[in-house]
């Protein structure tokens, strides 16, 4: 492809640069240091909306690595800057989310045996944050310079109901001047998420008068009504193409075994590669809930308190796509050719949804090594082979930042 020639030439030039070799050498020799950072960070709990201790830890690491102005922004993101040599306003971002899916109180003591780190969040996103620190350290060691400023962000709110709030906050001004954004998330060295999967999350609550299990028997039961709504919504047909999925992730409610519940609630996660499917599912969800509530109220006496429901949107991740002919994509392909990596473009919901939805070139990349048991307490990460992904990200970062 003729249009990729400048990208190929740029990567060839970077790969021949003595300082880049020095940075690669640093990465080769410091796997233990990288893993130590990872284990240290994973040992600090970072439940949704409770990331501050971890963000503060990261700020100290940023300072140790001589990044400029390490601080926590209003959203709680840890942010620092590596100044470029050009006095333009162009900036490049590299980010890794610091939050985990695990609620406060989950035991986090990670165990490090050889190259393997076990514990909640060991890979997602211990791997991404450790990679970000490794790249900073390698660039500092090799005195690598870039034309543009590189902003490093350990961001909050990627998982679950965080709803990408860390990234949303950073892009609240629309991302002006940001020419590229690399997100580091999880393990692997071949994938690149370049297509942002849209998702919507809903909280459905059903409320009733409640009462005593024996003396008030016959009053409407919100748990039963919600269950009927879930049953009906589960029967909605989902197309394979465009791939569309539905998950009921949590259900809760009730007061005691001998009380008619006053309320029941469930959370739904709807995803599709096609925004129109999400609109259709939203309508179906409302229909399922309203039908179940209507049917319950129909049987009740007019003067008895009725059943009410509310349907609240608690998450909305916008869709987006990196154009195939964008410079960032061409750089990635040139890097992967150079490193003999088979590029695997993927679709997923990541922090890159925010920049991609705003038209800022972005992708989410694996931070190397291998991981498993993601989002479970048996999560693990193995750092063997991490180096190749770090080289990949470093070359790409230097290319987009004008290294």
Find tokens 């964008």 and name the residue: 326
Question: Min. distance of Cβ 159 from Zn ion in angstroms?
Answer: 7
Window 17 to 36, contacts with Zn ion (CB under 5 A): none
Nearer to Zn ion by Cβ, of 124 and 336: the residue is: 124
Exposed e or buried b per residue across 39-66, where buried means at least 16 C-beta atoms within 10 angstroms of its C-beta = bebbbbbbbbeebeebbebbbebbeebe
Cα separation, 59 vs 82, whole angstroms: 13
Nearer to Zn ion by Cβ, of 255 and 376: the residue is: 376
Nearer to Zn ion by Cβ, of 124 and 163: the residue is: 124
Question: Min. distance of Cβ 237 from Zn ion in angstroms?
Answer: 31
* Residue 124 binds to Zn ion (criterion: CB under 5 A): yes
Window 172 to 191, contacts with Zn ion (CB under 5 A): 185
Cα separation, 183 vs 185, whole angstroms: 6
Nearer to Zn ion by Cβ, of 187 and 278: the residue is: 187
Concatenating the DSSP letter of every residue in 30-44 gives -HHHHHHHHHHHHTS
What secondary structure letter does DSSP report for 77?
-
Nearer to Zn ion by Cβ, of 125 and 330: the residue is: 125
**Which tokens belong to 403?**
């290294």
Nearer to Zn ion by Cβ, of 100 and 309: the residue is: 100
Q: Which helix (H) or strand (E) holds 132?
A: helix 126-141
Question: Min. distance of Cβ 350 from Zn ion in angstroms?
Answer: 7
Which residue's CB atom is positioned nearest to Zn ion?
124
Helix axes 126-141, 18-29, angle to 10 degrees: 130
Question: Min. distance of Cβ 121 from Zn ion in angstroms?
Answer: 9
Cα separation, 33 vs 49, whole angstroms: 29
Tell me how many residues contact Zn ion (CB under 5 A).
Answer: 3
Nearer to Zn ion by Cβ, of 193 and 264: the residue is: 193
Question: Min. distance of Cβ 129 from Zn ion in angstroms?
Answer: 10
Task: Considering only the stretches 53-61, 76-84, 117-125, 329-337, report the one whose residues sit in contact with Zn ion under the rule CB under 5 A.
Answer: 117-125
φ/ψ of 35, rounded to 5, equals -65, -35
**Which tokens belong to 69?**
């102005």
Between 275 and 294, how does the x/- string for binding to Zn ion read (CB under 5 A)? --------------------
Nearer to Zn ion by Cβ, of 37 and 233: the residue is: 37
Which residues, 6 or more positions from 153, have their beta carbon under 8 angstroms from its beta carbon? 77, 78, 79, 93, 94, 95, 96, 166, 170
Question: Min. distance of Cβ 186 from Zn ion in angstroms?
Answer: 5
Q: How many CA atoms lie within 13 A of 326 on its CB side?
A: 19
Question: Min. distance of Cβ 44 from Zn ion in angstroms?
Answer: 16
C-alpha closest to that of 185 among 193, 195, 196: 193
Between 130 and 169, how does the x/- string for binding to Zn ion read (CB under 5 A)? ----------------------------------------
Question: Min. distance of Cβ 168 from Zn ion in angstroms?
Answer: 16
* Residue 100 binds to Zn ion (criterion: CB under 5 A): no
* Residue 125 binds to Zn ion (criterion: CB under 5 A): yes
C-alpha closest to that of 396 among 369, 370, 367, 371: 367
> Which residue ranges make up the site for Zn ion (CB under 5 A)?
124-125, 185
């Amino acid at each position: 492809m003729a249009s990729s020639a400048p990208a190929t030439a740029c990567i060839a030039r970077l790969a021949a640069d003595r300082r880049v070799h020095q940075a690669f050498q640093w990465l080769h020799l410091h796997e233990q240091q990288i893993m130590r950072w990872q284990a240290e960070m994973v040992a600090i709990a970072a439940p949704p909306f409770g990331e501050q201790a971890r963000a503060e830890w990261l700020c100290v690491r940023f300072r140790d690595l001589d990044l400029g102005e390490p601080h926590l922004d209003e959203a709680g993101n840890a942010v620092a800057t590596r100044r470029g040599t050009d006095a333009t306003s162009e900036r490049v971002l590299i980010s890794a989310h610091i939050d985990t899916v695990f609620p406060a109180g989950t035991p986090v003591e990670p165990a490090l045996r050889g190259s393997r780190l076990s514990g909640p969040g060991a890979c997602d996103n211990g791997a991404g944050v450790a990679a970000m620190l490794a790249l900073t350290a390698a660039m500092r060691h090799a005195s690598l310079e870039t034309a543009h400023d590189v902003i490093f962000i350990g961001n909050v709110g990627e998982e679950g109901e965080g709803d990408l709030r860390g990234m949303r906050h950073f892009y609240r001004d629309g991302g002006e001047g940001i020419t590229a954004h690399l997100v580091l998330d999880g393990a692997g060295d071949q994938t690149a998420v370049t297509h942002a999967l849209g998702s919507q999350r809903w909280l459905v609550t059903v409320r009733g008068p409640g009462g005593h299990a024996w003396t008030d028997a016959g009053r409407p039961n919100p748990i039963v009504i919600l269950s009927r709504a879930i049953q009906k919504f589960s029967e909605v047909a989902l197309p394979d193409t465009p791939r569309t999925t539905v998950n009921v992730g949590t259900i809760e409610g009730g007061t005691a075994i001998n009380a008619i519940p006053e309320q029941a609630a469930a959370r739904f996660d709807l995803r599709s590669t096609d925004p129109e499917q999400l609109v259709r599912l939203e309508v179906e969800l409302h229909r399922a809930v309203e039908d179940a509530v209507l049917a319950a109220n129909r049987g009740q006496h007019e003067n008895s308190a009725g059943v009410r429901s509310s349907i609240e949107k608690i998450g909305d991740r916008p869709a987006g796509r990196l154009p195939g002919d964008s410079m960032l994509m061409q750089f990635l392909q040139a890097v992967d050719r150079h490193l003999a990596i088979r590029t695997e473009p993927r679709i997923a919901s990541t922090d890159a949804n925010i920049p991609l939805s705003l038209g800022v070139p972005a992708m989410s990349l694996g931070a190397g090594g291998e991981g498993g048991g993601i989002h479970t307490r048996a999560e693990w990460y193995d750092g063997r082979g991490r180096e190749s992904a770090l080289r990949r990200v470093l070359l790409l970062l230097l290319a987009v930042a004008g290294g």
